[in-house]
Chains A and B, each alone.
Chain A
């Protein structure tokens, strides 16, 4: 760990003492690296993110990569990108359009240039623009020469040649030399936006400590890129983005899946339960498994099961034993888990099911984001089968959501589904690290034999006897005198014995429904950003938070009567939501699906909500939401 304060200029040993170009101050900037999936674009984006965060900028990122690990080189299908938005102000999204685009080959240019603002900086590796690469990218003429890029500030740079020259003395093969191109591109961007090289140099040191030659090559490529910007006259000047006025405290950069893993560990710690994760690898959820498997010293046990069904049922087995049972997946895997989830509802065991949503149906778009699993979460099971649902709104929020979910699970003895999505999972933002001492405790109670029969003042142990929240006792194996059997067959009220009587079944269906609905009583009031009443309320959930919050703020700044309510709890919905909805003339629900929350809202509150729906595997642009708000404000 190292802590730096952005106020102190960090000694940058790599910066040569040459006269610097003029520096233009910007409030924010959006940069995208794009190239082949083997070009190291995710790494370049991550380094720019971390460096910017360390400088005190607010950051938001959008990694976008293909499902194929290595699609054929130079094809559009293989293009991988990483967009970083860094700002001297509070930001919520990775930016609609990019101010600077680094394209490592023609295919990357073709698929990404449409997002570059007119007049934006376009850096390309000229060496890659040969006939061999132009064709698969769909270019019949070289765009660097045919004037088609005239509206951008085009910088064709012989990046491959320059990188090879920078690492020449190290006797690497051509292939190895060319692998350093991403560091050259990073160096150049770092110069352009006035960022220090130190964090990346530290990264190289740590990452390639066992391959000193590769480390040195990457260092040289990075500095070569930086120096290229500094010494050539190509760029008129560079840019500076000052630090943002974030709330006081200690920060680090965090990705959604990482924050979720930390949240689960914290929930286990705060509840005194040992975390048992049973899961099956699936994009984009696997990183939660990777992260948790590294923290066994917290008592975390991870089990990579033979399939999705085994994963959820193993987690149920662990919960029955008194552990914090967790299973993680994405849409297709959740579909397989639904029967198991029904068992957890019937047996009334605490369990966390994480769905990191991706584009569907079926295998769909494994690496792209979507929020089309809300109805699956609510209604994907046989029978009347209520499951509480909480949704994270951004990468850092995952930390809190995991704890909220486990608190509900143990307090109400119920499985809880957490909805995240690919955009949240792989995106990152600065995280104000919590004060560990003040993290709320999560109370867990396992009844003891002494409270029951055979002991003074005891009563019979009844596994389905409910408390004031309608939760049944979590008696765990090993406790003498409390032996009981649970299962998927309908239970007799109170005793938990198998029972098929019609009235009992109806009563139990209602009990399970009432128990989950009752959670609303303990939810905090719904937060609304903006006026208490007015023309338009934007109602959102999940990963669209950033785009919606920004759009609403922009429209309001322009004088529009618009407020924003973002839901964390999708089941049950907050108790005051119905009243809030009625205070606005129109309710707009932007979703990355065909209107799933809208269906629920209309059905629940008879509110004629309007949808803004997008299913392209990509998040909303702020401008898309703002345009819809303005349309509603003006009609």
Chain B
């Protein structure tokens, strides 16, 4: 007799909940949901060991559509909810789904602290550069001059780079992908899931109702080759339709160079996602179209101690060295006296 030991084979359908998906038709969120469901079955983690945590916004409806455990929290607080959950239950795989408003504006503080603590969380931030659920106000990533319902004369708020922020918070895993670039997105989500520590993924996501075309430059067949550079560990930063351009470092300043005429691939910046110092990753996160192609892929993937592990290690150590807590001993610590 043989004992069946293999895990049941899971399919994307196993991760789909029974709820109707209520994003606007054509929303980039559908693609992210599809890629997530495609990636999850292969992680070797059963759905009941997974929790999706979100805040408020279009992206934050995500947990309702996953047949896992889930909390749709309050605006901006998903990283904090996830932190408590992961500390209490280190055995769970915890995903945080957030947006540019939820994660960078109202929840900026929590995002920053979750990242610096490096809990084993996977944070996916859908960046559509607009407030969708509240119907079209500018967000912390909207470009200067952006005309929205709340900025009829154009935005005067300097936009924030999500990845610069994450790198500034000493993130151990930082990546970017694009909603319609489905193979790249799936691969990026998988890398994020496999990373031990906080992984932060920014997904360029099109809001076809309130900010349609915000990423046309990065997705349009005509322009994307010049607008995007794919980061691959150990490889030079080459881009362009004919793969004829590259990024070269001039001191600490990146520059776009034409290959040929004495400029070889060896002269270019070679991507090192494992660099101990985040300096180069930060430079990459600053690159903005049209001055530069915008990098996608894994910017940084390094190891650093994880808060949840250390927290639980301290508890284990206290138990080992002092023994399991005993109430009688606790109460009687210090001076006591008897009344007969």
Q: Which residues of A contact B (CB under 8 A)?
A: 1-7, 50, 53-54, 56, 199, 202, 243, 246-253, 262, 265-266, 269, 274, 276, 278, 295-301, 303, 305-307, 309-311, 313-323, 325, 339-340, 342-343, 347, 433-434, 436, 439, 477-489, 497-498
Contacts and interface: CB of A to CB of B under 8 A. Distances in A.
Nearest to A266: B327
A296 B82 CA distance: 21
Contact of B334 (A1, A323, A497): A1
A393 B81 CA distance: 32
Given A265-B330, A439-B327, A478-B92, A316 B81 contact: yes
B51 interface: yes
Contacts of B322: 297
Given A249-B339, A310-B109, 11 more contacts: A4-B337, A250-B338, A297-B318, A320-B81, A322-B88, A325-B84, A433-B332, A436-B328, A485-B66, A486-B71, A487-B73
A248 B81 contact: no
A275 B7 CA distance: 33
A314 B314 CA distance: 19
A216 B229 CA distance: 71
Contacts of B266: none
Interface string B312-340: 10110111011111011011111111111
Interface stretch (B29-37, B41-49, B231-239, B284-292): B41-49
Contact of B337 (A5, A314, A484): A5
B67 interface: yes
Given A274-B88, A323-B88, A313 B336 contact: no
B48 A483 contact: yes
Interface of B: 17, 19, 46-54, 56, 63-64, 66-74, 77, 80-89, 91-92, 109-110, 112-113, 311-312, 314-315, 317-319, 321-325, 327-328, 330-340
Contacts, number: 233
9 contacts: A199-B335, A248-B340, A276-B87, A300-B325, A305-B83, A313-B73, A318-B88, A478-B49, A485-B66
Nearest to B72: A487
A434 B330 CA distance: 12
Contacts of A483: 47-48, 67-70
A6 B337 contact: yes
B331 A300 contact: no
Contacts of B317: 296
Contacts of A498: 19, 64
A439 B330 CA distance: 14
A347 B319 CA distance: 33
A54 B337 contact: yes
Given A54-B337, A483-B47, A487-B63, A339 B328 contact: no
B48 A479 contact: yes
Nearest to B67: A483
Nearest to A55: B337
A297 B319 contact: yes
Contacts of A478: 48-49, 89, 91-92
Nearest to B54: A487
Nearest to B83: A314
Contacts of B319: 296-297, 299
Contacts of B336: 1-3, 250-252, 433
Contacts of B51: 320-321, 477
Which 8 A-B residue pairs are closest in the complex by CB-CB distance?
Answer: A487-B72, A314-B84, A298-B325, A317-B84, A317-B85, A296-B318, A485-B70, A310-B80
B84 A315 contact: yes
A480 B110 CA distance: 30
Contacts of A2: 335-336
A439 B322 CA distance: 23
A313 B80 contact: yes
A484 B63 CA distance: 9
A295 B109 contact: no
Contacts of A248: 339-340
A310 B69 contact: no
A433 B87 contact: no
